Every structure is written in C-alpha cells, then in structure tokens.
Amino acid sequence: GKSKVNCSPCNGQGLVRASRDVSVKIPAGVDNETKLRLVGQGNAGALGGPRGHLWVELKVANHPQFKREGADIHLDVPIPVSTAVLGGTVTIPTLSGEVNLKIPAGTQPNEKQAMRGKGIKQLKRSSKGNLYVHFKVQIPKNVSEKGKQLMEEFKEEEAASCSQANQSIFQKIQGFFTKAKEEQKRESESC
C-alpha cells in the first residue's frame, strides 16, 4: 500500500497560517462601529476554494476641538465680553479650513450659530451636516482701573435703558388691566 505523507507546514490541510497587510479605503462619513466588508480579502478557502471576506470595524478617534454628533459637529469658541455686546468677527477652524464668522451684537453666553453644510459628509450621500458654533463669553478676572471705570459707565447706561424697558412693560400691563376693567364696567352697565 501507499503511505500518506502530510506536508509539515499545513499538516495536510492545504492552508498555512500567515499575516498580510491589506489596504483599506475609508469612505467619508464613517462613524464608530461602521463595518466595512472587503470582498475576497479574508481567509483562504479550504481545498483551494475562494477566499472569504474580511470585515473591518472602525473606531473613530475624538477630535481635540470638534465634538461630533452624527454628521453635525460642535465647536466652542471663546469671545470677549466686548465682542458679545458690540458684535464683531472671529476666525474659526472648520473641516475645510479657517473662516471668518460674524458675531452679532448682543450675543448671549452659550448662544449657538449654525453654519450649514460645514459638518461631516454623510455616509453614502452627497450632503454634509452642520457646524454649530457655541459662543463662550469670557469674563475677565482682572480688570484695569480704566476698564473698571468704563464698566461703571456701561452699568449706569445699562440701568437707564433697562428701567425704560421695564417702564414700557409695566405700562403695557397696566393698560391691559385698565382695558379689562373698562370692559367689565361696560358689561355690568348693559345688564
């Protein structure tokens, strides 16, 4: 009879365990746990059969400035009090480079502004998410004497304009109740 001789590297299986590098093209818009299937890049088939598929699960690293939420990204932008009050322009980073962003006068702390289409490309689509800029108003801890004097002047001006606004609101409320009393009086006279 014939004796069967096994190949020592494969032990008669026809397969040898080996590693190899595979190039993977990552499409724009992938997120954590996105799985990519690489057809024919998996293990060799048994007895000379076709190769299987290689599955790659992705982990996307956090960015130091941008916070991702699906296809939208968020960016905190510090601005001085003067810019929040008076308005101005600030240069901010985006995924496609720096842009100048106009900040409207009267911007409130933590107010956000949307920049349409400046987010991440959506997977398998041509559209992009939005970039949301969150304004972080910086209050100085140390103020010069001149700065204190200017803030005191601003405080007085602010108090005057606020009291006028409050008077206007008070007058509206008073007018509402006066009208209501007059209508009530007319209704009681007509009965």
Mean pLDDT across the chain: 82
CA 127/CA 63 separation, integer angstroms: 21
pLDDT for 80 equals 93
**Which range has the worst mean pLDDT, 48-57, 127-136, 161-170?**
161-170
DSSP state of 126: S
What is the band of 91 on the pLDDT scale with cuts at 50, 70, 90?
Answer: very high
pLDDT for 33 equals 82
Angle at 42 between CA 37 and CA 48, to 5 degrees: 135
CA 44/CA 20 separation, integer angstroms: 12
Q: What is the mean pLDDT of residues 73-83?
A: 94
Beta-carbon contacts of 133 under 8 Å, excluding residues fewer than 6 positions away, are 75, 77, 92, 101, 112, 113, 114, 115
In the predicted structure, residue 117 carries a pLDDT above the cut 60: yes
Over residues 136-186, the pLDDT tens digits come to 999 888 989 998 888 888 888 877 766 555 556 656 666 666 666 676 666
Q: Which uninterrupted H or E stretch holds 165? A: helix 145-190
pLDDT for 66 equals 93
pLDDT for 25 equals 87
> E strands of 81-167, at which residues?
88-94, 97-103, 112-115, 131-138
